[in-house]
Structure formats: C-alpha cells, structure tokens
Amino acid sequence: MSGTLWITGASSGIGRAIALHYAKAGWRVIASARNASELDSLAASVPGRIHAEPLDIVDAAAVEAAVARIEAAHGSIDVAILNAGTHVEITAEAFDVAAFRNLVDVNLMGAVHCLGAVLPRMIGRKAGQIAVVSSVAGYSGLPTAAAYGATKAALINMCEGLYLECERNKVDLRLINPGFVRTPLTDRNPFPMPFLMEVDDAAARVFQGLTRGRGFEITFPRRFALILKFLRILPYRLYFALIRRSTGA
C-alpha cells in the first residue's frame, strides 16, 4: 500500500519520524510545519519522497491554500495525519490566559482548520484517511496540563463526534493517543515519565496501525493508556488521591 500522505508538525519529534517511516515505505510525503529549514532538511534525507510545504496551521486561509496546492501538484491526499501541536505548563498559581489561548489555537483550532480543508475533499471522493493526533493526557485532568489536556480532550471528543458521519461517507477517521514519547517537547519535562517510548518506535506503531490495523483509536504504550483509562472511571476522591500520590501535586 502506498499513496500521498500529508502530515503536519513534521519538522521534529514524532511527526518527523512518521514522515520518514512513510517515505521509506514508498509513500509520497508532503511535510508541513512552520520551520521551513527543518522541513528542507527532512526532505533532503529521503530525496524525491518528501516534499516540504511550510505552513502555520493557525491561519485557516493558509491551510486551505496549502491543501489546494498539494492536491494540484501531487494529486489527491490519501492520508492526512494532523499531528502539529505544542505544550506549555499551566498552573493555578500562574494561570496564563494568553498561553492557554495559544494552545487552543495551535492544538485544537489548528486541527480544525486542517479538517476543514481535507474533510470536504475526502467526503466528495468517498475515500481517504484522516488521523488526528491527540494524547492520553486528554483522558482526564492532570497537574500543570490544564490547557494542554483540555485541547487534547477536545480533539478526542471531536473525533468521536465525527466518526460515524465520516464512516458513512467512506472516510476512515482515526484517533492517535500517544503516551510519553521522547521528543523535544517531552525533553522539557522535569518529572519521571512512565513507559517512555523512543520516537522511532512510536512512529512504527502509528504506521502499522494506520496501514494494517483496524479500529478507531491507536494508543501506546498500551499499559500506560489502560492505567489512565481506568483512572478516569474512578470516583473523584480516589482519582485525585492517586494523582496526588503519583505526581506529588
């Protein structure tokens, strides 16, 4: 299986690793991010397979124009992986409205802008796959992640809400919920990260799940995801006690 993949957030971390994995498997990869020099470096690593398309997903008009350029130059997008995102700690003691808004604009509205550009095209063709990268942090609230977790929870809810309608229109909508993956973002974390995965292993899980697997959600590491899914069904008294104990909050 091969075709044309468009991936956002491809300049570093898991997005870059996924782009490389698809390119080495024979796919034509259109890689987007704000950092044009990093995209050029990525494209040069697999000549002829990866094409740079610099883009700020916060700009809805720019996203629409980029998707139109991609399809005019490379044909229909077969798979879109909406991976771009960022993280800033938000605490009650230093609640930063501007930082919160920026995370909403990038993590949530950025994905919405991309969906707005690719979803009508795929529905019109009755074909295509869209994967939205959220996080296990969206399962329930965690200390210092009030903004990040809120955006990821919104992505999960949004995809759940769109799934049946996409299925009805022959669009394969998937949700990707990673745990801790070693990337420039997680390198900033000052706390222990259980079940930390290497980025290449995470990219391989995504590739296998999207090209061979079935089902709505791709999550990893599975044990960590199962623990967090269990925690979210507990009464709040128990939930907060366990989170306090495990994080020192």
Residues 155 and 174: their CA atoms lie apart, in Å, by: 11
Mean per-residue pLDDT over the chain, rounded: 93
How many degrees, rounded to 5, is the angle at CA 222 between CA 221 and CA 224? 70
Instruction: Report whether 31 contacts 53 (CB < 8 A).
Output: yes
Give the residue with greater pLDDT, 243 vs 69. Answer: 69
pLDDT, tens digit, 9 for 90 and up, residues 39-91: 999 999 999 999 999 999 999 999 999 999 999 999 999 999 999 999 999 99
Cα–Cα nearest to 203, from 54, 3, 5: 5
CA distances from 65 to 5, 37, 68, 150 (A): 17, 21, 5, 29
Binned at pLDDT 50, 70 and 90, residue 185 comes out as low
Cα–Cα nearest to 8, from 113, 161, 96: 113
Instruction: Report whether 182 contacts 198 (CB < 8 A).
Output: yes
pLDDT, tens digit, 9 for 90 and up, residues 102-151: 999 999 999 999 999 999 999 999 999 999 999 999 999 999 999 999 99
**212-243 burial code (b ≥16 CB/10 A, e <16):** eeeeeebbbbeebbebbeebeeeeeeeeeeeb
How many degrees, rounded to 5, is the angle at CA 82 between CA 8 and CA 173? 150
pLDDT, tens digit, 9 for 90 and up, residues 194-242: 667 899 999 999 999 999 978 999 999 888 899 889 999 999 999 999 9
Sign of CA dihedral 200, 206, 212, 217: positive
Helical spans, DSSP H, in the chain = 13-24, 36-45, 60-74, 97-103, 110-125, 146-168, 199-211, 222-231, 236-247
The verdict on pTM exceeding 0.85 is: yes
Give the position of tokens 């709505």: 216
Instruction: Report whether 71 contacts 120 (CB < 8 A).
Output: no
User: Which active-site residues does the annotation give?
Assistant: 148
Residues 193 and 246: their CA atoms lie apart, in Å, by: 11
Cα–Cα nearest to 218, from 177, 162, 171: 177
For domain 4-247, which CATH number applies: 3.40.50.10440, 3.40.50.720, 1.10.630.10, 3.40.50.2300?
Answer: 3.40.50.720
